[in-house]
Structure 1
Amino acid sequence: MHRIGFLVSEGFQIMALAPQSVFEYANIVAGEPFYALENFSVAGGAVPSSLGVAVGTRSLRGRVEVDTWMLAGVNDPLQSPAPQKILDFLRKAVHRARRVAGICTGGFVLAEAGLLAQRRATTHWAFGRALQQRFPDIHVEPDRIYIVDGPIWTSAGMTAGLDLALAMVEKDLGADVARSVAHKLVMPQRRAGGQSQHSEMLELAPKSDRIQSALDYARRNLHRPLTVEALASSVHLSPRQFSRVFTLETGQSPAKAVERLRLEAARLMIEQSRHALEVVARETGFRDRRHLREAFMRGFGMPPQAIRRDARIDSRIDTR
């Protein structure tokens, strides 16, 4: 029996408990209760979430035997620091547990306890810079879905906690069980830890359906030349009117937005496939491998080869 403890404090984000469903269905798929789940807090009893919904918890006092600790995040870790008793507990628990995970901003709790020093870690993209500034001895990678560094796991935003939990299931029970759990929960097969948590389509966030349709058209046709004229024609606007409205709604020019979409698509191909860079360039609309590299250096500050190398390192770590 693998015992998993979800550690919460007042004001925790209720979505941090969503990974419990992954472990529940892993038991169902495995045909036996491999995982035992329990919620914990410093004093025990009912603990209110940020939404106001309270969950019952067991106190950390006395003998607590847990194999995996899952630290719940809060909406704003800068305004809601972890209780000192939790930090003191974690410093001891990390030596007894098999692994410790911070879900979303739960990574701040691990950092405050000193468990992320000299380690790679991630958190919600909105707090990545703050985590790095407050804890300069951590190698923060704010664009990752989740990161595994030895016994310490960290995830990005709350839904990334599901990917992290699914990766744990794959490590414990194998790829077939993880795939079946993902299917039952209507999840895509788990995203690799190195996959970007950032979506250019979400970042652009156009206000009108017409500009959204133009972006959808661009994403479906990245392998083609995407001139302002072509984009404008796809939504029945003149090029001049389209450029004006597009820039007003997204804050950037059509050409800049298209390059960002190409970069996002190319990065995903590099992280998730073995396609040669020439193929990646062709499929995502770059002239050639050199043009792809130039765009990556502008957009990410590193060449495509480095991103592929990092993704392979993450994959090897995930399967250990």
Structure 2
Amino acid sequence: MTDQRRVVIVGYDGAQILDIACPSGALDIANRYGAAPPYSIELGTLGRRAVHTSSGIALGAQQELGAVTGRLDTLIVVGGVGCEDAAADELLLEQVRRLAGRSRRVAAVCTGAYVLAAAGLLNHRRVTTHWGWGSRLAEHHPTVAVDIAPLWIRDGNIYTSAGVTSALDLTLSLIEDDHGPTLARAVARELVTHLHRPADQAQISVFLAGPPPQDRLVRDLTGYITGHLSEDLSPAALAARAGISSRHLSRLFTAHLGTTPARAVRAARTEAAAHLVRSSSLPMTAIARRCGFTSSETLRQAFLSRYGITGDRMRKMPDMPPARPAPARHTPGP
């Protein structure tokens, strides 16, 4: 343990290949950028059998879980469509419990939380998982405090992350904890991704919170809004872009999003600004300009309306405040 950080990733049939690739790939890049001590990364399975991932690609294992001895730095349990079968495998659970006791920290990616919960490692802990599986996890394990809002959660030495690529955000944070922000930023650049998102960023953006709009025009406009926050997104400008009247635009947004165009734009801008407040040191004036607000005071009012606090206070908080309830979305009739 003095010359390397030993990381064992627990695999099983039906695992999501990205749940394995995101942590192992990021840790490998950290090694190439000079992580000291470096990470030793191993994929372990029962019987050292190959992992047949949900995509059909098989991955060879380096370790038989039962043969792993000594101290581990990190134990990572991955998720995937096979998680429930894995959570019912007593031999696998026995090894997960044993190795967790030998590990400095334990992490679950996505629905890997099912396996940790079945092993009794998440009792009375706050955890997250993929947003589509949270209610099932809570129902099967009532002693586990499931919160599907954040991208990842740390409770003591237990880390859980949301779906699939949030494993990258979690792993970058582990790298930052181990080696500092400079190395974490270098890994993020090598991966051609933004600096990792903070744990408390919502899993789902304002336009992804419900089913996608049935209307193609509304879908196109919501995509345009999120990609052009600093531009003119007034109802008139959006209507002109879509080639319809402002009145018809308002009817479409109300029918398919349950809100007006102006409110949808304001929500998208506020959400993006909140992410910048939490993940950067940009001044509020720069954040307001980048996200399309006319002034820092307008941004302040938007934060108060959506989160109940100012951006300055949000930046100092350890956890992201929940957004205030938005108007219910209405599904158009036949």
State the TM-score, normalizing by the size of structure 2. Answer: 0.77
Contact kept? 1:9, 1:82, Cα under 8 Å: no
User: Size of the alignment, in residue pairs?
Assistant: 309
2:46 pairs with 1:42: yes
2:66 corresponds in structure 1 to 61
2:175 corresponds in structure 1 to 169
Contact kept? 1:278, 1:289, Cα under 8 Å: no
Matches of 2:257 and 2:231, distance apart in 1:
22
Secondary structure of residue in 2 paired with 1:237: coil
1:11 corresponds in structure 2 to 14
Contact kept? 1:12, 1:49, Cα under 8 Å: yes
Matches of 2:316 and 2:35, distance apart in 1:
37
- Per-residue CA deviation, residues 128-150 of structure 1 (Å, 9 max, x unaligned), is 22223332332322111111222
Contact kept? 2:36, 2:179, Cα under 8 Å: no
1:127 corresponds in structure 2 to 133
Matches of 2:39 and 2:227, distance apart in 1:
42
Matches of 1:169 and 1:139, distance apart in 2:
26
Matches of 1:81 and 1:223, distance apart in 2:
46
Question: After superposition, where does 1:116-265 map in structure 2 within 5 Å?
Answer: 116-203=122-209, 205-206=212-213, 210-212=217-219, 214-215=221-222, 218-219=225-226, 228-247=235-254, 250=257, 253-255=260-262, 257-265=264-272
Question: After superposition, where does 1:47-126 map in structure 2 within 5 Å?
Answer: 47-57=51-61, 58-65=63-70, 66-75=72-81, 77=83, 81-126=87-132
- Per-residue CA deviation, residues 192-226 of structure 1 (Å, 9 max, x unaligned), is 11222212344574567754553355446768996
Secondary structure of residue in 2 paired with 1:191: coil
Q: Which runs of 5+ in 2 are unaligned?
A: 322-334
Identity %: 33
Q: Which runs of 5+ in 1 are unaligned?
A: 314-320
Contact kept? 1:47, 1:56, Cα under 8 Å: yes
Contact kept? 2:87, 2:93, Cα under 8 Å: no
1:271 corresponds in structure 2 to 278
Secondary structure of residue in 2 paired with 1:64: coil
Question: After superposition, where does 1:299-318 map in structure 2 within 5 Å?
Answer: 309-311=317-319
Deviation at 1:103, TM superposition (A): 0.5
C-alpha root-mean-square deviation of aligned residues, in Å?
A: 3.5
Contact kept? 1:11, 1:74, Cα under 8 Å: yes
